[in-house]
Structure 1
Amino acid sequence: MSEEGYDHATIEQRWQTAWGEENAYRTPDDAESPAYILGMFPYPSGKLHMGHVRNYTITDSYARYRRMRGDDVLHPMGWDSFGLPAENAAKERDTDPREWTMDCIDTMRDQMKSMGFGYDWEREVTTCKPEYYRWNQWLFQQFHDAGLVDRRGAEVNWCPSCETVLADEQVEGEDEHCWRCETLVEQRELDQWTLAITEYADELLEAIDELDGWPNSVRQMQRNWIGKQEGASLEFTVEGHGPVEAFTTRVDTIFGAAFFALAPDHSISKELAEDDDTVRRFIEEDADPDGDEPNGVETDLTATNPATGDELPVFVADFVLSDVGTGALMGVPGHDDRDHVFASKMGVEITPVVAPEPEEGEPEAPDVSEGAYTEDGVLVNSDEYSGLTSAEARESLTADIDSAESHTQYRLRDWLISRQRYWGTPIPAIHCDDCGPVMVPEENLPVELPEFINTTGNPLDAAEEWKRVECPECGADAVRETDTMDTFVDSSWYFLRYISPDYEDAPFESGKADDWMPVDQYVGGIEHAVMHLLYARFVTKAIADLGMLEHREPFTNLLAQGMVQLDGEKMSKSKGNTVSPQLISEEYGADTARLFMMQAAQPKRDFDWSEEGVRSTNRFLARFKDAVDTFASETADGADDSVAEYVRDEIDATVAVATEQYDALMFNIALREVQDLVDTLRAYADYTDVHAPTFERGLTVATRLLAPVAPHIAEELYDELGNDGFVVDADWPTLETETEDTVERRQLIENTREDVRNIIDVAGIEDPERIDVVVTPEWKHRALELAMDSDAENLISELMQVQEIREQGDAAASYGQDLQATRESLNPTLTPEREHEVLRQTAWLIEREFDAPVNVLSSSDAAADTARKAEPGRPAIDILER
């Protein structure tokens, strides 16, 4: 077989057919050692892109690995198939969203199968099918009965392009644009359905500390989004308007309050705008909450500081937000950076009231003329509270100010799930003039979508026959709810449906879910760090509180995979820099694409797509196949000598390192080990007649280690090597001999080969006649051990107390000085006996590279001048030129 390629198409088709006929990836019904491996299910947009392929290759490889380690693996796939893009695509093509979506699913399923992904397709779920979204509706009603559902009027985020409401989490960027279409978001007043995620704010926050298997960045993003703040609420009396509540986390700075500020949409601001043109123009024209600097306008009002009685000027300011805190705040420019900028701009006096805590003596007020002092400290300029620490002052002031109360606030808001679109789960409610909103009776679920009507706005509003119904409670004429659910509802529990996808009595079988959950390894993009993951955590906890599930967290371990880039930029259709997985698969094979992506970088890192990298990967697979083909066709059996002994050690070392790296999902390192082993086996075959049992074991081990990532060719080679069954069902390779000194052994080999290369290069030796490798004398090993264990300041003196070292005279003193100078970076090495053994085993590598015989000598058998240069882990080299 040529190294330029192999017949990947035939091989891949053969094994995909065989897997299908044998239902090779079916999840066992009664799992003894359950392992749930899951990639975030995709939106069916039409075709797989490289991001999909990378994500699902990661989960597929890990699922295959865990299966070979003896676990019963659940590795399913489904479709997040509701959503606005399908509805818009259907409008553009004058077709039905269902038809468009199902066509896309068929295409992507076929592509996934062609990539060799080992899914249990019997567990496939599709969220736009009634048998799935029925349970969205059922859960909605259970949450309603539990008090977690509310319908209320509120100012909401409205996307004029998508013509639908957005949750706070779906508004992105400083300019507040739609996460889907990037249109600027507007504010509207509407009655909407919400889920009370805020009821779980504390648990969602506290449980983050227990998510040890999640990236720290994702955990911090969730903490920031929940945004818990401990502080105090208190009232400032605004002239002519009475008490106005404000929230602060720094009530200890209240004596430094220099102004009071209101949000532009605060009720007092709106009232002022009716009579004050300056305020009106600011609110309508100048206010910019996302601007680089805080901006505002002074009013004619004052506010009374409840601690000092001072009258503070009142501003309408764009950095005060109505949905953060109360929409009103006290400005303390001496101790808040934003307030300092605003006060300096407006000419407001700045007074420091907190000073750094001194080591001794009285605290000295900081200079805040150029910037705020924002740390805790000791109060100054604060009447009877001066001298208290910030913590003490917060406690005392909260107790002493009549209107002050300890208060906790959150950035998190209830989850607004209403969407004014067709292609989503119908909210199972009916509106009656007399009874109000009434839940659809459970026996009438699912409420199925009517036929699609291509119209502007929400097509469900135009479905007159569908929406006109009787009230379930009083029988009067009523109207169905025409809002559909946010598609994140679908993905908030889909991982539970995979466990029992055909179950008809509930969303999932609780007993089985308790066995499989939580998901052992979840993989998906960092873009879902807040919305999807937060919603899934909330819904899991709410379901647990319904008594349906033991577990309160859905995902034990999370991997946020990096992007596939081209020339340093993320691949995207809009940039025209995509690479088609299908074309790559057709030209080079699915195994090549999978292997290239997995060896290019750690899964969590971005990496650049490289056509040359793809070709190089394909050539490696061809070389590996050629090595197996050659071995299978030849029967020569060489000696079980030191070379075979070295190869056996390398096989065991490869198993040990690759297993450790597969466990850690560091596939790139594991695969480098496999490739190095294959190269070693090929070098062995080129050097001498191989010891057949050793060589065959090496090929079999490499095949099994490669199987999770390149399953088709691994099946082919496994079969060619005479094994029965599928490699996917094979046991993971085990060690014949423990290899505790792998790192030291390999370092010795690499150091020795590199030193020989350097000597030949520097000396300009073109034709070496003999290469002597001299092992370090035992006394130097003894000195190294003492140096690593010693904490004596004078290491040389301590070494000289040992007779065998002292007897070496000047050589010992010189080596001792070297050890003294490098003692912080000393590392253990092999024993002299093991060093000699390893060098003897690997002499063939040097002989093969330089076409010269190699002698491995003990220091006593070598020339004194050469032996003197040898050190532990760094044998002396003497090269004789012809």
Structure 2
Amino acid sequence: MSHEGYDHTAVEERWQTAWAEADAYRTPDEVDDPTYVLGMYPYPSGKLHMGHVRNYTITDAYARYRRMRGDDVLHPMGWDAFGLPAENAAKERDTNPRDWTFDCIDTMKGQMRSMGFGYDWDREITTCVPEYYEWNQWLFSRFSEAGLVERRDAEVNWCPSCETVLADEQVEGDAELCWRCDTPVETRDLDQWFLSITEYADELLESIDDLEGWPNSVRQMQRNWIGRQYGTTLHFHIGGQGPVEAFTTRVDTIHGATFFALAPDHPISEELAAKDDAVREFIEEEADPDGDEPNGVETDLTATNPATGEEIPVFVADFVLSDVGTGALMAVPGHDERDHAFAEKMGVDIEPVVAPEPDDWDGETVPDAPDVSDEPFTEDGVLVNSGAYSGLDSETARERLTADIESATESTQYQLRDWGISRQRYWGTPIPVVHCDDCGPVLVPDEDLPVELPEFINTTGNPLDAAEEWKRTTCPECGAPATRETDTMDTFVDSSWYFLRYVSPDLADAPFDLDRANDWMPVDQYVGGIEHAVMHLLYSRFFTKVLADEEGLDQREPFTNLLAQGMVQLDGEKMSKSKGNTVSPQRIVEEYGADTARLFMMQAAQPERDFDWSEEGVKSTHRFLSRLSDLVEEYAAGDVETGDTESGRETIDDYVAAETDAAVAIAGTEYDDLTFNVALREAQDLVGTLRSYREHAEPHPAVYERGLDVAVRLLAPVAPHLAEELWETLGRDGLVVDADWPTATADRETVERRRRLVTNTREDVRDIVEVAGIDDPERIDVVVAPEWKYDALEIAIDSDADNLISELMGESHIRERGDAAADYGQDLQANREALQETLGDDDEYDALRAAAWLIEREFDAPVRVERADDADESVVRKAEPGRPAIDIVE
């Protein structure tokens, strides 16, 4: 150690070696008190960035804390190793994706080790090796046998740059750009493999309410993505086309339907485009579903309103989407904002058929129709201009119209679509299917799995199409020549169950050991980015439910608690290579140490908040760690003058002991809640208290040493290397990673009352000194309130009587205080909503005596703390529970 700052490089290397030799983070398979802590595994892109470091410091700190609490902790790490970026990188460098990926893994794993992350590396998984992706293929077969796999021709999102299909969730923004390369996405018709996630749509939606440990924002994003709507499906007859199905959630407005609209890719629209130049030109050149306003073209067709029999014009409109509802809709401009805007633009009639319900509505009278010429009325109300249905409320009208219209049926629609997993790329899991001219698509038998990737061929398009020898095979059913499926799986398949593989990573005959999975699952604490709120998290929930149904998994949800960590920013902007505003984790480790980087990030903000990287903040954190190491070293070397309780400083000892307990009580609850910044503030404040204690008095050795011991343990989850060094310096046995979490003799509520008392008292002294203009006080008297006031306060807090003073006066020992009791009772009555529990009179006296040295040091004057019985009555009158009287003698 150096007095100018400890040698972080030597310390970190030493303890990383010690942890490895002690196998400190190995998790046994059979445990009594399992706690599963997991960070979303990374894509091996080459180097860790600060977002990685923050994510994995959060899980590491929490895992270390739970270990110190006595839990058996599973804290593994692996690699989301398949994916198009590696394939593109390999093409650019004329290498192969496997070598590129494993080079990146080696680099990132070394960086993780240098950060001191406590992973059980014996459980490491890598999704691009056959030992892992064999089970993707096995699961595909099980999903197929359960009727959850379908192959069909479908219109798909196609990235022309990546030359692959994208899921809806991978198309970003109004401009519809590829999430990987920002290329505008096109649509194509291709044969695709789908997993039938819609079969679980209702359960996925309804069980969101049970995810109480998830952020509300993530839960709402999933609700919106599933997008369940209850409504009515009914037919509008289009001349020359027959009945066309439409879905509406507002069939009560059907009498106000003044036009019918088709999506540009609706079959009728495409048929019209072949013979109508205006329709073709609109579809090919003008339609813009993401435009600022709806646009369309009128056709020569009309549709018959099934409720009124009226003929209404048919439009092809770009605000109608083929994958929402049925791709056709009845448009009611009087009661829908989008329809209203379109009708105004196209000169279509706007008719009101629902009016706001009057305040004095009798349930029968038909109110006046609203004026909808400028804006629609979009709420439920009472029907008007609706024939026999006028005068009905909207809900009743929906029920009756659905029953009365011949083609109408109740219907539930979802925005969620089945999950297209086909990707036209090399670096992914081969879909275990062969295509036979006679038998069609046939699953590869389990005994022939895995279907391994062939050698990489650097070519345009899908390299598997160019692997002619690999493609040629025989049909498992008839033995005839057949061709392998050349699509690979979406890499979200890999991550939809990887958390199960960690419980038995070397298992050779199943994807996971069911008994162990049932012991460990669900993951107790999961941490990752908000960008995965829909895709990864939704797919993982889907897989878990299927595995519960098909394989006997006990749990139907994968993650009990979810934390979506915020971004690390620089000058208010997200760090990004393209912006040139990144900070290298490796540089920070080399210059300041891993513990400094970890501690700075954890103390800067709550984990879910964004925060700005600050070089000065990093330096300040390093200085703090150096000061702590000096405190411990100097004490261990015998360089601190200590004294015992006979020195007359026992109240100071009491204060430091109490503050040590307070730090333990508060930090523990904050670590439980993952509010590391508050927990770390307690540890840092304790270190500051210990420094002041040493400077102001000869500290009691037991009190001082316990304070140092506690500070080290409170910091150990976040700054583990230095904590190990200081733990050893203090002469403790074993590793701090195996140490017990410290215990406190006071609960948090009591601690906070004591602190509030001391803080308020110090502030009151400051106010009096400032207002009275006292430059050099001779003595400061602090007088605790009389016991009867504490009794009165307790009665007031517990009472629900209207006349509090009368209730107080019912107590003889309070009533006998006369005017003083009446005055205090009036104060309590006036402030009943703001009353707070305080310490008792004896505890307040002890707490103030213990903290008196802080006031003495600040004002350079002796402080006398007195009980009410020992003080002047004129001063006692001013004292209240939690707010002692202050008398300053000049």
Q: How does 1:678-717 map to 2 (within 5 A)?
A: 678-717=687-726
Q: Give the structure 1 partner of residue 155 of structure 2.
A: 155
Match of 1:541 in 2: 545
2:843 corresponds to which of 816, 834, 839: 834
Give me the whole-angstrom Cα distance separating, in 1, the residues matched to 2:366 and 2:624.
71
2:853 alignment partner in structure 1:
844
Please state how far the C-alpha of 1:704 moved relative to its aligned partner. 1.4
- Find the counterpart in structure 2 of residue 418 from structure 1: 422
Deviation at residue 527 of structure 1 after TM alignment: 0.2
Does residue 399 (structure 1) correspond to residue 403 (structure 2)? The answer is yes
Matched, 1:462 2:466: yes
Q: Which region of structure 1 is more displaced relative to structure 2, 531-540 or 381-390?
A: 381-390
Listed as ranges, the matches of 1:13-162 within 5 Å are 13-162=13-162
1:183 alignment partner AA: T
Alignment match, 1:512: 516
**Paired position in structure 1 for 2:597:** 593
Greater alpha carbon shift after TM alignment, 872-881 vs 660-669:
872-881
Structure 1 contact 4–618 (Cα < 8 Å) conserved: no
Instruction: Report how far residue 820 of structure 1 moved.
Output: 4.0
For structure 1, which segment, 36-45 or 786-795, has the greater mean C-alpha deviation from structure 2 after superposition? 786-795
The offset of 1:442, in angstroms, is 2.0
The answer for the alignment partner of 1:213 in structure 2 is: 213
> 1:222: Cα distance to partner?
0.7
Q: How does 1:371-770 map to 2 (within 5 A)?
A: 371-634=375-638, 637-640=642-645, 641-737=650-746, 740-770=749-779
CA distance in 2, matches of 1:839, 1:59: 40
Q: Paired residue for 1:270?
A: 270
Secondary structure of the equivalent of 1:255?
helix
Letter in 1 for 2:361: E
1:256/1:768 Cα in 2 relative to 1: closer, same or farther (>3 Å)?
same
1:51 Cα deviation after fit: 0.4
Give the residue type in structure 2 aligned to 1:562: G
Separation of aligned partners in 1, 2:523 and 2:24: 22
Counterpart residue identity of residue 832, structure 1 = D
For residue 301 of structure 1, give the secondary structure of its aligned residue in structure 2. Answer: strand
Aligned-pair distance for 1:431?
Answer: 1.6
Equivalent pairs, count: 881
CA contact (8 A) 1:337 1:372 kept: yes
Cα distance between partner residues in 1 of 2:788 and 2:552: 68
Shift of 1:170: 1.0
Whole-angstrom CA distance in 1 between matches of 2:742 and 2:730: 15
Deviations 1:256-275 (A, max 9, x none): 11111111111111222222
Other structure's SS at 2:577 match: coil
- Match of 1:319, as an amino acid? F
What is the aligned partner in structure 2 of residue 777 from structure 1? 786
- Asked if the contact 1:36/1:520 (under 8 Å) is kept, the reply is yes
Question: Which residue of structure 1 lines up, in the alignment, with residue 320 of structure 2?
Answer: 320
- Amino acid across the alignment from 1:755: D
Displacement of 1:798:
5.6
Q: What letter matches 2:694 in structure 1?
A: A
Q: Distance in 2 between matches of 1:698 and 1:636?
A: 16
Q: Is the 8 Å Cα contact of residues 68 and 741 (structure 2) preserved in structure 1?
A: yes
Match of 1:360 in 2: 361
Counterpart-to-counterpart distance in 2, 1:731 and 1:299:
77
| 1:452, distance to aligned residue in structure 2 (A) | 1.3
**TM-fit CA distance, 1:160:** 0.6
Q: Which moved more, 1:715-724 or 1:430-439?
A: 430-439
Q: Secondary structure at the match of 2:880?
A: coil
Shifted more, 819-828 versus 97-106: the winner is 819-828
In structure 2, the residue matched to 1:234 is: 234
Most deviating of 195-204 and 37-46:
195-204
Contact 2:665 2:746 (8 Å CA) reproduced = no
**Could you say which residue in structure 2 is the equivalent of 1:6?**
6
Conserved? CA contact 1:357–1:363, under 8 Å: no
Moved more, 859-868 or 467-476: 859-868
Which stretch of structure 1 is more off in the superposition, 367-376 or 21-30?
367-376
Work out the CA distance in 2 between the residues paired with 1:266 and 1:147: 28
SS of 2:293 mapped into structure 1? coil
Assess if the C-alpha contact under 8 Å between 2:366 and 2:390 holds in 1.
no
User: In structure 1, how many angstroms separate the alpha carbons of the residues matched to 2:74 and 2:97?
Assistant: 31
Q: Which position in structure 2 is the counterpart of 1:305?
A: 305
Q: CA deviation at 1:768?
A: 3.1
Question: Within the alignment, does 1:253 sit opposite 2:253 as a pair?
Answer: yes
Secondary structure in 1 aligned to 2:888? strand
User: What is the rounded CA distance, in whole Å, between the counterparts of 1:267 and 1:535 in structure 2?
Assistant: 31
Q: Which moved more, 1:279-288 or 1:108-117?
A: 279-288
1:226 Cα deviation from its structure 2 partner: 0.8
Q: Which residue of 1 aligns with 2:290?
A: 290
User: Deviation string for 1:321-371 (max 9, x for gaps)?
Assistant: 111111100011122111121122222222222223333342423332222
Secondary structure (helix, strand or coil) at the match of 1:158 reads strand
Identity over aligned pairs, percent = 74
The secondary structure found in structure 2 opposite 1:532 is: helix
- Kept in 2, the 8 Å contact 1:499–1:509? The answer is yes
Specify the code of the residue in structure 1 equivalent to 2:707: G
- Say if 2:381 and 2:393, in contact at 8 Å, map to a contact too: yes
Code of the aligned partner of 1:663: D
Which residue is 1:339 aligned to? 339
Deviation at 1:806, TM superposition (A): 5.7
Q: Secondary structure of the residue that 1:153 maps to in structure 2?
A: strand
What is the SS of the residue equivalent to 1:768?
coil
Instruction: Give SS of 2:324's match.
Output: coil
1:796-852 Cα offsets, whole Å, 9 max, x none, are 566566665566666555545544443321212222222111111111122223332
Distance 2:393 2:70 in 1: 59
Could you tell which deviates more after superposition, 839-848 or 519-528? 839-848
Q: What do residues 149-197 of structure 1 show as CA deviations (whole Å, max 9, x unaligned)? A: 1111111100011110011111111121111111111010111111111
8 Å CA contact 2:172–2:178 kept in 1: the answer is yes
Counterpart residue type for residue 511 of structure 2: P
Which segments of 5 or more consecutive residues in structure 1 lack a partner in the other structure?
none
Measured in 2, the distance between the counterparts of 1:229 and 1:313 equals 27
Of stretches 640-649 and 488-497 in structure 1, the one that deviates more from structure 2 is 640-649
Deviations 1:493-542 (A, max 9, x none): 11111110000001111111111111111100000000001111111112
**Structure 1 residue 287: Cα displacement:** 1.1
Question: Any idea what the Cα deviations from partners look like across 1:443-498, whole Å, max 9, x if unmatched?
Answer: 22111111111111111111122212222333333221111111111101111111
Answer yes or no: is the 8 Å Cα contact 1:649–1:739 preserved in 2: no
8 Å Cα contact 1:518/1:553 also seen in 2: yes
The one-letter amino acid of 1:638's match is G
One-letter amino acid of the counterpart of residue 77, structure 1: M
2:881 aligned with 1:872: yes
SS at match of 1:292: coil
For 1:788 and 1:20, locate their aligned partners in 2 and report how far apart those are by CA, in whole Å: 56
RMSD, matched Cα: 1.9
Query: Which moves more between the two structures, 751-760 or 191-200?
Result: 751-760
Whichever residue aligns with residue 700 of structure 1, its letter is: D
Cα separation, 2, equivalents of 1:818 and 1:472 = 88
Code of the residue aligned with 1:489 in structure 2: it is V
Give the aligned partner of residue 198 of structure 2: 198
Give the direction of change, closer, same or farther, for the CA distance of 1:203–1:793 in structure 2 (3 Å limit): closer
- Is the 8 Å Cα contact of residues 666 and 748 (structure 2) preserved in structure 1? no
How far residue 739 of structure 1 moved from its aligned partner, in angstroms, is: 6.1
3-state SS of paired residue (2:274) = helix
For the structure 1 residues 738 and 188, does the alpha-carbon distance in structure 2 shift closer, same or farther, using more than 3 Å as the test? closer
Contact in 2 for aligned 1:422/1:460 (Cα 8 Å): yes
TM-score (norm 2): 0.96
Give the TM-score, by structure 1 length: 0.97
Deviation larger for 440-449 or 757-766: 757-766
Mapped to 1, the partners of 2:216 and 2:89 lie a distance apart of 38
Question: Is the 8 Å Cα contact of residues 600 and 668 (structure 1) preserved in structure 2?
Answer: yes
Distance 2:846 2:314 in 1: 85
